[in-house]
């Protein structure tokens, strides 16, 4: 299904940045709910607050692969507007199946992309060259990250995973650096970055955050993600090992999910009623402004998962019929 609509997202001024977070990340029909970490001081830089900025007006398009129109999520988009995502909820009879789609986004423009021999695959990231990253699931439910580079699929597992069964890659830049996380045998999350060329993993440990997930990385190597302290979820920015924590104003659950070359960040947050909204954060280190982004067909159920350097956004929402639909938003 392809439909086009125009709407203005709502701008929200930035109140403050703090250092807390909680994760409930759904993968292949199951949820990974980590335990919290103790509240400790976050050695973060302060964020400059900018005046309220005019809202960006987006044109929204619904994109659903008709192989399973009941469940689609668009997770990454590159500067050529090639999109990565998947269909299928992961429940019985609806396995996750990865794909990419290129303009003009008709049904004939979807291309299946699944890790060879996998039971399920999610394609979570795509870089400027069209190479992708994500994770795959075997017949016994074990998650492994993957990178598809120049047509070659390679599976990755952080050696520190121990008895844990989950490794997922969620971001990939043009230099071949991927980011993601693993879940250890005690159920705690650990963020990392991976050099796909060498296979070397490097831990990402926000100060005071031992339960972190890295979700996006741009071509300057700036990383975003989120982590837990107590019962709240906050985002973090990692710029060369210098960490900045933030949360959407008034929300105890903020999940940044993507970042572009201009350090614009997208993700989702929960409001006081528990509704989920997408957000766009601009100039986070020099004069930050937040903007709520809701698909008009899914207000309160929208997640913005990725963006490119031209501020095209992708994500998903839940419609009135209860289906999860892929979302593309052009400025």
pLDDT of residue 50: 53
Query: What pTM did the predictor assign?
Result: 0.87
Q: Report the range of poorest mean pLDDT among 66-70, 141-145, 229-233, 302-306.
A: 229-233
Confidence category of residue 52, pLDDT binned at 50, 70, 90? low
Three-state SS letters, the chain: CEEEEEEECEEECCCCCCCCECCCEEECCEEECCCCCCCCCCCCCCCCECCCCCCCEEEEEEECCCCCCCEEEEEEECCCCCEEEEECCCCCCCCCEEEEECCCCCHHHEEECCCCCCCEEEEEEECCCCCEEEEEECCCCCEEEEEEECCEEEEECCHHHCCCCEEEEEEECCCCEEEEEEECCCCCEEEEEEECCCCEEEEECCCCCCCCEEEEECCCCCEEEEEEECCEEEEEEEECCEEEEECCCCCCEEEEEEECCCCCEEEEEECCCCCEEEEEEECCCCCEEEEEECCCCCCCECEEEEECCCCCEEEEEECCCCCEEEEEEEC
Return the pLDDT at 210: 73
In the chain the domains, ranked by start, together with CATH numbers, are 2-330 (2.120.10.30)
pLDDT exceeds cutoff 50 at 64: yes
Residue 207 has pLDDT above 50, yes or no: yes
Average pLDDT over residues 153-157: 98
Q: Which residues pair with 239 in a beta bridge?
A: 242
Examine the pLDDT at 85 and tell me if it is beyond 80. Answer: yes
Instruction: Calculate the average pLDDT of the chain.
Output: 86
Given this model, what pLDDT does residue 229 score? 77
Q: Quickly count: other Cβ atoms within 10 Å of residue 211's Cβ.
A: 24
d(CA 276, CA 325): 15
Residue 70 pLDDT exceeds 70: yes
Q: Which one has a higher pLDDT value, 209 or 102?
A: 102
């Amino acid at each position: 299904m392809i439909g086009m609509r125009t709407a203005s997202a709502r701008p929200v001024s930035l109140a403050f940045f703090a250092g807390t977070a909680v994760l409930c990340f759904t993968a292949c029909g199951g949820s990974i709910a980590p335990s919290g970490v103790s509240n400790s001081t976050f050695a973060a830089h302060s964020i400059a607050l900018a005046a309220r900025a005019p809202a960006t007006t987006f044109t929204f398009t619904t994109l659903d692969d008709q192989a399973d129109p009941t469940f689609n999520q668009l997770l990454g988009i590159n500067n050529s507007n090639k999109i990565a995502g998947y269909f299928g909820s992961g429940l019985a009879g609806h396995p996750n199946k990865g794909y990419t789609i290129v303009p003009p986004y008709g049904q004939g423009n979807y291309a299946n992309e699944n890790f060879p021999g996998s039971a399920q695959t999610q394609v979570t990231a795509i870089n400027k060259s069209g190479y992708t990253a994500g994770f795959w699931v075997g017949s016994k439910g074990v998650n492994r990250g993957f990178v598809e580079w120049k047509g070659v699929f390679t599976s990755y597992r952080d050696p520190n995973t121990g008895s844990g069964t989950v490794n997922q890659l969620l971001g990939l830049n043009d230099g071949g650096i991927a980011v993601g996380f693993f879940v250890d045998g005690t159920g705690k999350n650990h963020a990392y970055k991976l050099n796909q060329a060498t296979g070397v993993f490097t831990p990402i440990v926000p100060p005071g955050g031992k339960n972190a997930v890295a979700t996006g990385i741009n071509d300057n190597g700036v990383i975003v993600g989120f982590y837990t302290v107590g019962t709240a979820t906050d985002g973090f920015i990692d710029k060369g090992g210098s960490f900045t924590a933030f949360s959407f104003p008034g929300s105890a659950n903020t999940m940044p999910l993507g970042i572009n070359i201009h350090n614009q960040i997208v993700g989702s947050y929960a409001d006081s009623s528990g509704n989920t909204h997408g957000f766009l954060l601009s100039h986070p280190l020099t004069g930050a402004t937040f903007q709520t982004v809701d698909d008009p067909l899914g207000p309160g159920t929208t997640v913005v998962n990725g963006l490119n350097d031209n501020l095209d956004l992708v994500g998903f929402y839940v419609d009135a019929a209860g289906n999860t639909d892929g979302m593309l938003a052009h400025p």
